[in-house]
Amino acid sequence: MSDEDDLADSEPDQDDSEKEEDEKETEEGEDYRKEGEEFPEEWLPNPLTEDMMKEGLSLLCKTGNGLAHAYVKLEVKERDLTDIYLLRSYIHLRYVDISENHLTDLSPLNYLTHLLWLKADGNRLRSAQLNELPYLQIASFAYNQITDTEGISHPRLETLNLKGNSIHTVTGLDPQKLISLHTVELRGNQLESTLGINLPKLKNLYLEIKDAGLQT
């Protein structure tokens, strides 16, 4: 079985412990914002290293024609990372958690064309823009400094979390490309209207319209 067949049938699941951990991290993120703490202007450079990769890699799976194997899951959260350039070389990764770091650039993820699941919460991102990732199904960019929704065009994306950012207007969510997106989380932003949200499969939309005092 090829990588493509395997990925097309894959569904990133979370067990109960992972869900509880996600909920805990969300609460911590909300508490962090409530305290009114600001991100420091400068952080000392702290790039992702091979040693960090060795510690964070798990889930050995077959790749390509099934004769080779590679680790496909990476967790490097809370490492004070400022640079993930090294990820360009780990093209077989499918599950990546880089949350609670100091990242401003996600462009190395453009090389991870097998990526299914991405969590980049609690960084210093100003954009969620990435190249089209053909298998990405779940993406979370909560509690960053993102100001727009441009550059999100992954055809298999089902769940998108942009909670706790600085988005005023939704733009760039192309219904012709986001044909699988059914859940969008936009609470904790500065939204002025629901314009720009026109997705064919949308079932769950969570947002607040600040000016109107409306919460959905």
Per-residue model confidence as pLDDT tens digits over 29-41:
544 443 444 545 5
Q: What is the pTM for the complete model shown?
A: 0.80
Q: Where are the domains of the chain?
A: 1-8+43-120, 125-216
Percentage with pLDDT > 70 across the chain? 77
HEC-encoded secondary structure of 57-107: EEEEEEECCCCEEEEEEEECCCCCCCECHHHHHCCCCCEEECCCCCCCCCH
Please report the sign of the dihedral spanned by the C-alpha atoms of residue 21, residue 79, residue 30, residue 121: negative
| Class in CATH terms, 125-216 | alpha beta
Q: What is the pLDDT of residues 116-155, one digit of tens each?
A: 999 999 999 999 999 999 999 999 999 999 999 999 999 9
N-terminal to C-terminal alpha carbon distance within the chain: 43
Query: Which residues, listed in sequence order, are joined to residue 140 by a DSSP beta bridge?
Result: 119, 161
